[in-house]
Chain A
Amino acid sequence: MANSKKSKHRAGKNQPSRSAARSGSSGGKGFYLLLAGLVVAGAAALVLARDTGGGDAPVLAPLSVAETTAPASADAGVAIGPPDAPVTIAEFADFLCPYCRTFNSVVGKALRRDFAGPDGPVRWINYDFPLHQTSWAPALAARCAEQQGRYWQMHDLLYAMSDDWNREANPNGKFVEIAETAGVDKDAFRTCLENRSGLQEIGAARRYGESLGVNSTPSLFINGRSIPATREFFSYAGLEKLIQQELAAATTGSE
């Protein structure tokens, strides 16, 4: 037994014995101080990394499409322009996508104004395609504005003012302010944010995009055909040309 104990001691000679660990007590003290410093620094970083804001507005936690149940639907978009227009442009976009913002402010807005009016030749349908978990909150805000017939005003303001909300932990507080600017009734808007009924529509729009092979934003389709995401086409002149071609083809086809 004694021999066994002795052998055990030998077997552990390459191991850090407790006395060896204690012998490095000066290093040990430094080590535990370092650990304590890391704990303090890490906790402070976690607290400071959080942006404040949002006030008492309802919070929407980050989501993924898996948390919605609605199936893909071509009707899940929000449209502007005559239902029987000869040209339909479908846009899949994400309010947090910087390129969507640029595209909307430089090209999309002007095209809708010039071609998707009440008697225009274009029906423009916007489909939410939230790429990020935090993209659902602005999409829901736009849907809530839609309930009061102010979708496109809210849509354009969300892009134009995205610097005001895109780093907020709870951007809904800013959305309430933006909704007011867009002419939306604040209380009804808050209620809509709370009951989140628009999330299913957003999920259906995103699934519809997935069914068409959309994997990036903005993605555009003209009369059901995908438009290559190049500068040639994603410009006012490029899209105007495509619209004219579609109109010419529609005219030729009806003759």
Chain B
Amino acid sequence: MTVSPVTRHRGVAILALIGLFVSVYLLLYHLGYYGILRCGTGSCDVVQSSKYADFLGIPVPAWGAAWYLAMLVLGLMLAAGRSETSGPGKLAAVAATGGLAFSIYLTAVELFVIHAICRWCVVSASLTVGIFLLVSPWRLLRRGPPESLESLAVE
């Protein structure tokens, strides 16, 4: 089953919007807006209060919110018809790959360093994987010859 690029990029926008709300929720908790995290099962507070809750001096949820916002904008641009080989398309591919790598790092820290899993982090990691699969950066790598060469093709 092939999924059209428009559908894939609409999916990116929807997942990014959900992720944006999750990140904003965690960021507001970090800033003291909420008393206690609604975590259900899991150890959200342990993860959120660890030293890994900040990255380069900025709270991880703030990075997440910025990333999801960027993916939302890029997803909407691509869903509106921008080519995957255009600037936004390439940027989306790079950002999706970077986001997945960062998500793998954070999950590894939870599992092997902090030994605590936060349900919201699992949700965010799943959304990141979903966005990566929908953006499908590998499609850029297996494209045909560049346009400059293709323009020489004889009709």
The interface of chain A, by Cβ under 8 A from chain B, is 3-4, 6-8, 10-12, 14-22, 24, 31, 34-35, 38-39, 42-43, 45-46, 49-51, 59-62, 64, 66, 96, 131-134, 166-171
Contacts and interface: CB of A to CB of B under 8 A. Distances in A.
5 contacts: A15-B85, A16-B6, A31-B79, A38-B18, A96-B36
Nearest to B9: A16
B81 A21 contact: yes
A169 B45 contact: no
Interface in B52-78: 53, 78
Contact of A8 (B30, B81, B147): B147
Q: Which of B35, B84, B147 has the most CB of A within 10 A?
A: B35
B14 A34 contact: yes
B147 A46 contact: no
Nearest to A31: B10
B32 interface: yes
Interface of B: 4-6, 9-10, 13-14, 17-18, 20-21, 24-25, 28-36, 38, 45-46, 48-49, 51, 53, 78-81, 83-85, 144, 147, 150-151, 153, 155
Contacts, number: 112
B113 to A, nearest CB: 13
A35 B34 CA distance: 26
A133 B25 contact: no
A169 B34 contact: yes
B88 to A, nearest CB: 12
A219 to B, nearest CB: 15
* Chief secondary structure at chain B's binding surface: helix
A19 B79 CA distance: 12
A23 B150 CA distance: 28
Nearest to B89: A15
B25 to A, nearest CB: 6
Contact of A39 (B4, B5, B17): B17
Given A12-B85, A62-B29, A132-B45, 11 more contacts: A8-B147, A16-B4, A19-B81, A21-B80, A21-B81, A31-B13, A39-B17, A42-B20, A131-B45, A169-B33, A169-B35
A171 B28 CA distance: 17
A166 to B, nearest CB: 6
Contact of B34 (A3, A8, A17, A49): A49
